[in-house]
Amino acid sequence: MKTKTDQDAQARPSRCPDNSAFKQQKLPAWKPQLSIATVLSSFFVIGAACLAAGICLILSTNSVREIEINYSDKCSNCSKLRENSSNWNQECNCSAGFVLKEDMLGDVFMYYGLQNFYQNHRRYMISKSNAQLLGRDVNIQNSYCAPFTTYQNGTPMAPCGAIANSIFNDTIDLFYNVNSSVIQVPLLKTGNSWWTDKNVKFRNPVGHNLSSAFAGTARPPYWQKPVYMLDEEDERNNGYINDDLIIWMRVAAFSTFRNLYRRVSRTRRFADGLPAGNYTFRISYNFPVSKFKGKKYVILSTVVWSGGSNPFLGIAYTVCGTAATLMGFVITAIHLKLRKKKTYFQK
């Protein structure tokens, strides 16, 4: 005779899974049988592969030619002038010479480097309007651009935010000194940004021309000219799609970083790269760094199949390969020791 409790239990839906191979976990599966041979071979194979990759990356990185010039001290007069923000409209030029002892063959890239400049502060990183940089007509008062949104008269800034306001605006030219003559090295200022940034994340507003498209806006406080005049020579590299602006808007993770500035155009005398000789950087100094005890660099570098001069990946592979190989030897020693003990006790 069924009790009331049994009847209630039958009325409730059962939580037991269906009697199927999938829900009862009876499907065929591969269960690896780990033996000493498979474990040791895995450690040694992984170690050898990582060591080979690490050594190749380190050798490749060491073949990169690079020269770095610190021009913060060499332009000390301009640095003192820029300490006073009221002198923003006064031009200041300086130069830094160096000797290239060997040819830099192949593609040569020019970078600017900053030291002790922190872009990883949260309020700084979010201080921009992605909708505005896409060329949309938006109310930047609702964005994270504050306090770099509008002027006191209500004119909106284009582009807004702390990132754009602090853009690196030094102008750097390279000259080759040969046979008592000075030749300007041709530099490419376009094609340096990522394709996705240039064609997807940044767009200019629609208008008859850039001047009319940005009508009713004003440049950020620390800029010397409006956004539609960043590159007066090339209309396709102007406004929000300017390569220098796009590269700067991708903030760095560390306080010391470098950004791509120019590429050497491989034409005429520089078709094979930069020949050995005397060179001079002529710099229009606009970006102040003395207030935050920073340093500024200009770097010339070549690239190889693994990238630029960054040994971290090669060192990481080498360390991992060495650790895996050593672990293989340790496991082998433990196995041999235990096998000897087992043989002794069996006797």
Q: What is the structure's pLDDT at 244? A: 96
State the pLDDT confidence band at 347, using cuts at 50, 70 and 90: low
pLDDT greater than 70 at residue 5:
no
pLDDT greater than 60 at residue 269:
yes
Mean pLDDT of 228-254: 92
pLDDT greater than 90 at residue 82:
no
State the pLDDT confidence band at 83, using cuts at 50, 70 and 90: confident
Mean pLDDT of 191-209: 91
Q: What is the structure's pLDDT at 158? A: 92
- pLDDT, tens digit, for every residue of 18-68? 888 888 888 888 877 888 888 999 999 999 999 999 999 999 999 899 999
Amino acid at 329: F
pLDDT greater than 90 at residue 173:
yes
pLDDT greater than 60 at residue 2:
no
Q: What is the structure's pLDDT at 345? A: 52
Give the Cα separation of 11 and 44 in Å (integer).
60
Q: What is the structure's pLDDT at 117? A: 95
- Low-confidence winner among 52-61, 86-95, 212-221 (lowest mean pLDDT): 86-95
More reliable by pLDDT, 340 or 173: 173
Give the Cα separation of 19 and 41 in Å (integer).
41
Give the Cα separation of 277 and 98 in Å (integer).
9
State the pLDDT confidence band at 219, using cuts at 50, 70 and 90: very high
Q: What is the structure's pLDDT at 72? A: 87
pTM above 0.95, yes or no: no
Q: What is the structure's pLDDT at 292? A: 87
Average pLDDT, the chain: 89
| Angle subtended by helix axes 36-62 and 312-346, to nearest 10 | 160
Q: What is the structure's pLDDT at 7? A: 59
DSSP symbol at 289: -
- Low-confidence winner among 76-80, 169-173, 187-191, 200-204 (lowest mean pLDDT): 76-80
State the pLDDT confidence band at 174, using cuts at 50, 70 and 90: very high
- pLDDT, tens digit, for every residue of 177-199? 988 899 999 999 999 999 999 98
Q: 106: closest CA among 302, 316, 298?
A: 302
Q: What is the structure's pLDDT at 235? A: 84
pLDDT greater than 60 at residue 346:
no
More reliable by pLDDT, 89 or 109: 109
Percent of the chain residues past pLDDT 70, beyond the cut: 94
Q: What is the structure's pLDDT at 340? A: 73
Q: What is the structure's pLDDT at 342? A: 65
Mean pLDDT of 105-114: 95
pLDDT greater than 80 at residue 88:
no
CA-based angle 99:105:109, to the nearest 5? Answer: 75
Q: What is each CA distance from 48 to 43, 52, 102, 122, in whole angstroms? A: 9, 6, 35, 42
Give the Cα separation of 161 and 222 in Å (integer).
11
More reliable by pLDDT, 326 or 234: 326
Give the Cα separation of 300 and 108 in Å (integer).
7
Q: What is the structure's pLDDT at 343? A: 63
Using only C-alpha atoms, what is the Rg of the chain? 31
